[in-house]
Chain A
Amino acid sequence: MSFISVRGLKLALAGGALLGMASTQPSAALAQNLSFYYPVAVGGPITKLIDALASDFEKENPGIKIKPVYTGSYQDTIAKTLTALRGGEPPHFAVILSTDMYTLIDEEAIVAYEDMVKTDADKAWLKSFFPGFMENSQTGGKTWGIPFQRSTVVLYWNKELFKEAGLNPDKPPATWAEMLDYAKKLTKKGSTGNVTQWGVQVPSSGFPYWLFQGFTTENDVRLMNAAGTETYYDKPAVIEALQFWVDLSRKHQVHPPGIVEWGTTPKDFFEKKIAMMWTTTGNLTNVRANAKFDFGVAMLPANKRRGSPTGGGNFYVFKKSSPAEREAAVKFAKWATQPERAAQWGIDTGYVAVTAAAWDTPKMKAYVAGFPAAAVARDQLPHAVAELSTHENQRVTRALDDGLQAALTGTKTPEQAMTDAQREAERILKPYRR
């Protein structure tokens, strides 16, 4: 208890110091130096792209200096940010997972955009993003994050293997039943009985909850409430969804058994060890460059409905900053998400451009015309839901991940695994329900 009050005191002191600083600063545009943390989660020259963004912005906005700091993976980034925050020196703004929103709010680290934007144009900007991306960026009626590098899960299929199996190469599975049916036809066994080619692969290492959200959303059930204080891991529809995933490998044997590595799944696809895979749209550029065969990209198959989770990182603005610094940070976020730039960023990285306007730019239209698969993610967005995110996100998600892996490896039944996961999540989240 006592350390909380000490922290409160420190914050108050820091706040006081800031106010003091702000008032002594002349209101004329003094040079603003902003530090900006960003992770790299996809291949390609991301650090160079970000550096270029920052220097372009500086050219157009003299008086503002951006210092981009590469901060490792998303996990490293949140670790570094929280350390710097407790050390009293957080960045001015950062790209961090959209799912870390509650963590950052609980740490009193970030400012809501509603408290920073003033003009109507800015307010309109807040409304310009795809609603699917905003679900993870808003809570309690406020916007805490601005979508920047966002992705979603889609299905990739190998048209050549479809042809070989006597399937229509241009028709991806639209439902679970179809996917299972196709997968059965696409699974090949060698002379000794081992499988040489699997029908479908859904990776389950690292963050299985994300792909599992594909199954649960399609089964028309949500894993958590919008306030981030409750989870529904043990609902019958969730267990049913897990049962389907487990059955793919254990009962129907059209999916590799056990835990499937996320990182090597695209490679399995390139080497024709699998005919269909579920993975992020962030892989689009990679698959396009490395698949030596005709491939297609489709929305995830539906069961009761279509559905897929969104993922990726948002811009957050940190509290420990002067009003002028906040204004400059918001300016950068707004600048970086302008249609032209959002479109270019999407084309360069494979992330889904975050506003409808970005998809209407000539640049994006030309790109989609040459590569229609790029638009699948956008078309799926109306069906997309928020990525699993709650207070104490790491631990609550971990409970589900452990349950999923236990079920996939067969150490627990889906029902048992989900009941245990729910009990654990319940225990962690209890203090947040007041």
Chain B
Amino acid sequence: MSAAAHGRSAMEPAGIARALDTLGAWVLAILWFLPLIYAVWTAFHPTEYSARFDLAAPLTLKNFADAWSAAPFARYFLNTVLLVTMILAVQLVLVTLAAYAFARFEFFGREVLFALVLVQLMVMPDVLIVENYQTLRRLGLIDTLLGIGLPYMASAFGIFLLRQTFKSIPRELDEAARVEGCGFLKMLWLVYVPLARPVYIAYGLVSISYHWNNFLWPLIVTNSVTTRPLTVGLSIFAAVDQGIDWAIICAATLMTSGPLLIAFLLFQRQFVQSFIRAGIR
């Protein structure tokens, strides 16, 4: 007993630091989790209980049923998944090739071109809505999934992020690969892409969550149930003229963000590990 006490006192400073760390982590986790807990509580109880906590409150699935029937959510789910997948797939290809060129090739006007790409980062997408709409109309892409995604496919953020990553990869690896007889594309595939995997994952997360949540642009550029994403369906519940029905809003929100949450929970180990590996390198 006394030995243990002794040992602990020797460890005291580190112990306190660790306790504080744990405490801090818990506080942050709870703060992050609170809105979610509230949403779950509200979604599964009748409206009367959305501002009143009562353990005996009756559970119900009615809010979900109401929310689901208020708009063609099944179709919207499909649209959103297709849209997000398409955008991410095209982005990954374009961004990789562009970043590789900017990072490793010498060509005329490279700096100017890269500066132009960076300028895109400074412009708020909302400012371009009218211009983009006109372009898409000339292309005949109004009211199509491709039309929603097209303006986002050449992502300046992605190009910038990957270029910096590619630049930080030692030239030696590059040269070794060339000695082994790799061409440019093979080198990209075998050396650069695997080494940048954590960055790809981080970028994929940002891209998916952004496009999953994007509202105004898809609303403006689409007119049909067959092209509209989830957010447009969700916005029906945001009609506040009649007061806010938290129960149904929470149910609809959980329903539409659920797949993302579940995917993140399932893959979180991989995410976290890839970030850690990115740090160790």
A and B physically associate: yes
Question: CB of B168 within 8 A of chain A?
Answer: no
Interface contact A87-B223, CB-CB below 8 Å: no
Distance, CA A280 to CA B236, complexed state (A): 19
Interface contact A264-B236, CB-CB below 8 Å: no
The closest CB in chain B to the CB of A69 belongs to B223
Question: CB of B232 within 8 A of chain A?
Answer: yes
The closest CB in chain A to the CB of B248 belongs to A43
Given that A41-B241, A266-B243, A286-B243 are known contacts, is A79 also in contact with B51, CB under 8 Å in the complex?
no
Chain B interface bracket (under 10, 10 to 19, 20 to 34, 35 or more): 20 to 34
Q: Which of A70, A80, A88, A263 makes the CB contact (< 8 A) with B243? A: A263
Distance, CA A69 to CA B222, complexed state (A): 9
Q: Which of B128-136, B154-162, B174-182 lies at the interface with chain A? A: B128-136
Q: Which of A72, A271, A292 makes the CB contact (< 8 A) with B232? A: A72
Q: Which of A41, A44, A47, A267 makes the CB contact (< 8 A) with B244? A: A267
Interface contact A83-B129, CB-CB below 8 Å: yes
Interface contact B70-A83, CB-CB below 8 Å: no
Question: CB of B245 within 8 A of chain A?
Answer: yes
Chain A residues positioned under 8 Å from B2 (CB to CB):
none
Chain A residues positioned under 8 Å from B232 (CB to CB):
70, 72
Identify which of residues 375-417 in chain A touch chain B, using a CB-to-CB cut-off of 8 Å: none
Interface contact B133-A43, CB-CB below 8 Å: no
Interface contact A72-B235, CB-CB below 8 Å: yes
Distance, CA A79 to CA B215, complexed state (A): 13
Question: CB of B169 within 8 A of chain A?
Answer: no
Interface contact A42-B239, CB-CB below 8 Å: yes
Interface contact A89-B130, CB-CB below 8 Å: no
Question: CB of A422 within 8 A of chain B?
Answer: no
Distance, CA A286 to CA B241, complexed state (A): 10
How distant is A269 from chain B, measured CB to nearest CB, in Å?
Answer: 9
Interface contact B242-A43, CB-CB below 8 Å: yes
Interface contact A285-B235, CB-CB below 8 Å: no
Chain A 18-41: CB-based contact to B (< 8 A → 1; otherwise 0): 000000000000000001000011
- Name the residue among A46, A80, A270, A282 with the largest chain B CB count within 10 angstroms: A80
Chain B residues positioned under 8 Å from A279 (CB to CB):
243
Question: CB of B238 within 8 A of chain A?
Answer: yes
Chain A residues positioned under 8 Å from B137 (CB to CB):
87-89
On chain A, the number of residues with a Cβ less than 8 Å from chain B's Cβ atoms is: 43
Interface contact A79-B220, CB-CB below 8 Å: yes
Distance, CA A137 to CA B172, complexed state (A): 73
Question: CB of B206 within 8 A of chain A?
Answer: no
Interface contact B241-A282, CB-CB below 8 Å: yes
Chain A 256-293: CB-based contact to B (< 8 A → 1; otherwise 0): 00000011111100110000000110110110001010
The closest CB in chain A to the CB of B135 belongs to A87
- Name the residue among A70, A71, A89, A350 with the largest chain B CB count within 10 angstroms: A70
Distance, CA A83 to CA B47, complexed state (A): 38
How distant is A28 from chain B, measured CB to nearest CB, in Å?
Answer: 28
Question: CB of B219 within 8 A of chain A?
Answer: yes
Interface residues of chain A: helix, strand, loop or mixed (majority): mixed
Question: CB of A45 within 8 A of chain B?
Answer: yes
- Name the residue among A71, A72, A73 with the largest chain B CB count within 10 angstroms: A72
Q: Which of B130, B133, B243 makes the CB contact (< 8 A) with A265? A: B243
Given that A87-B134, A263-B244 are known contacts, is A76 also in contact with B235, CB under 8 Å in the complex?
yes
Question: CB of A423 within 8 A of chain B?
Answer: no
How distant is B47 from chain A, measured CB to nearest CB, in Å?
Answer: 7
Distance, CA A152 to CA B137, complexed state (A): 39
Given that A35-B223, A79-B216, A87-B130 are known contacts, is A73 also in contact with B238, CB under 8 Å in the complex?
yes
Interface contact B70-A45, CB-CB below 8 Å: yes
Given that A43-B245, A267-B244, A271-B51 are known contacts, is A84 also in contact with B239, CB under 8 Å in the complex?
no
Chain B residues positioned under 8 Å from A365 (CB to CB):
none
Interface contact B130-A83, CB-CB below 8 Å: yes
Distance, CA A79 to CA B216, complexed state (A): 9
Question: CB of B71 within 8 A of chain A?
Answer: yes
Interface contact B242-A285, CB-CB below 8 Å: yes
Chain A residues positioned under 8 Å from B39 (CB to CB):
none
Question: CB of A67 within 8 A of chain B?
Answer: yes
Interface contact A87-B236, CB-CB below 8 Å: no
The closest CB in chain B to the CB of A283 belongs to B242
The closest CB in chain A to the CB of B47 belongs to A290
- Name the residue among A35, A47, A206, A263 with the largest chain B CB count within 10 angstroms: A263
Interface contact A282-B242, CB-CB below 8 Å: yes
- Name the residue among B220, B240, B242 with the largest chain A CB count within 10 angstroms: B242
Q: Which of A42, A71, A86 makes the CB contact (< 8 A) with B133? A: A86
Question: CB of B148 within 8 A of chain A?
Answer: no
Question: CB of B142 within 8 A of chain A?
Answer: yes
Chain B 206-232: CB-based contact to A (< 8 A → 1; otherwise 0): 000000000110011001100000001
Q: Give A residues with C-beta under 8 Å from B.
A: 35, 40-47, 67, 69-73, 76, 79-80, 83-84, 86-89, 151, 206, 262-267, 270-271, 279-280, 282-283, 285-286, 290, 292, 350
Contacts A84-B220, A88-B137 aside, 18 further interface pairs with beta carbons under 8 A come to A35-B223, A41-B242, A45-B70, A46-B236, A47-B71, A70-B232, A72-B215, A72-B219, A79-B216, A80-B219, A83-B129, A263-B244, A264-B243, A267-B243, A271-B51, A282-B241, A283-B241, A290-B47
A selection of 12 A-B contacts at a CB cut-off of 8 Å is: A41-B239, A41-B241, A41-B242, A43-B242, A46-B236, A47-B236, A70-B236, A73-B239, A79-B216, A86-B130, A282-B242, A285-B242
Pairs of residues from A and B, 6 with the lowest C-beta to C-beta distance, nearest first: A266-B243, A87-B133, A263-B244, A263-B240, A41-B241, A69-B223
